[in-house]
Amino acid sequence: MDMKLKVRVGPKGQIVIPKSVRDSLGIKPNDFVLVDVDDGKATLEAVYQNPLGVLSEIARAHGVKSSELVWGDKLYEKVLVGT
């Protein structure tokens, strides 16, 4: 289903994901979404597992503390982006 909806950004920089989009993506309260920004466009993707939990598990498997990982870390990218 293709959708293009206009939403307003609130004073704290927050947006409300319209119900039709939440329903389409299966997003429920307290779920995580992955926001990907590329070439001036942002896309949302439903994340069906807690990304921090997955990151912690993979970090432990590689002998690394998850608290030591930073943006740009190859392990971090592999977990969240799948590269």
pLDDT digits (tens, 9 = 90+) for 17-29: 999 999 988 898 8
The whole-angstrom separation of Cα 17 and Cα 77 is: 25
Strands 41-47 and 32-38: antiparallel
Instruction: Please state the pTM of the whole predicted model.
Output: 0.54
> Each residue of 8-52: pLDDT tens digit?
999 999 999 999 999 988 898 888 888 888 999 988 888 776 667
Q: What's residue 81's pLDDT?
A: 58
